Structure 1
Amino acid sequence: MVLMALAGRCLAGRVRRFLAKTTAPGQPSHPAITGGIWLYGITTTFCLLSSAPFFCRLSAVLMASFMLQMSLTDAISGYLPATFTRRFLAAGLLMSLATGTLPVRVAETLATGILLLILHVLVNRKRVRVGTGDLWLMAGLTAWTGLNSTFWSLLAGYGGFVLWHATWHLRGQREGPLGPWLCLGSLLMLLNNLYQPLWVI
């Protein structure tokens, strides 16, 4: 776990450099960085310890690495740049090429992209409520995990965001980043897919 946390620290260095050049130059030691690194270390350790095939575990660690950078950037600056999200989407399609599911993933990603474009036009008509970076992130999640897993990831992520947002009167702040919550929901779904627990409802 410590090794994966050190890897997370190296990945967070790229976020620090990006923020220093762009949106948040004065926040090199934000608490989200430490929390994100340790969450990354714990999650990727669980991914590597699962009994899933090696390529699935490797794919999960790679996906978590992208999500660490995106969620830290969004949590600190409130900005989810295309530099991170489009690379995430392209890497997801490349991984699907390696697993032989590229045609299905491309079709699902295109369908998701069309739905997200419609959502963008309807929701952001007068005022930006859902950022473009969040929409690219959702399309990227589809490229990595498929439509079904993305749906459950978004449901978990939005649920966490709504519950966190309900505490605005305690924080004194009405707005906040959605990206980290979508990434957290996706990490939960990723672990669920690797371990495949039996859910009794």
Structure 2
Amino acid sequence: MITIWGRLNSHNVKKVAWAAIEMGIEHRRIDMGGAFGFTDDYLAMNPNRLIPTIEDDSVPGGFSLWESNAILRYLADAHAPHLRPEAPAERAQGDKWMDWQFTFAEAQRTAFQGIVRQGKDVNDPQVSASIAATIKLAERFDAALGQTPFLAGKAFGIADIPMGVYAYTFFTLPFERPSLPNMEDWYAGLTARPGYASQVMIPLS
């Protein structure tokens, strides 16, 4: 049994909750962070006051881990190795995009927070600057997906999960986007995955 600590409207929690379904891992999720606050027991596991954190009861003596992308790599290695390429070059390509996701997230953050959490218009100067920066990165991402259908090669894997979560926000926020055919096709494939639909495609908040 895996316990996932964190509220589902967090992008980083969505990654892990979706991954657990993709991997067929028995799990439960307990709300933590944001409006739910942090318990002392939680902070003993993760003193950073961030989410998510997991506990894996399958490890003798118990095991907890924080940092969302580290959690994804651990879960794949421990429970679903088919989602993580064996070839070092392919694995590194996937890891590159998993790390690059934080660049995309930072660019999109002001647009997301401004529109969703602060009620700002897309014409707000800070929001519009964030949108422009995000689109520039999305065009770079689209070009990469023109080379391979998934971020670590020919098959879906954990490398697709971090950007998959942020792609939902990108395509859901109410601003005009250029044609991004490769990213659009990749995203359409993600929306057909049950774990993505149930854990990621929820109202932005």
Give TM-score scaled by structure 1 length: 0.29
Structure in which a larger fraction of residues adopt strand: 2
Structure in which a larger fraction of residues adopt helix: 1
Give TM-score scaled by structure 2 length: 0.29
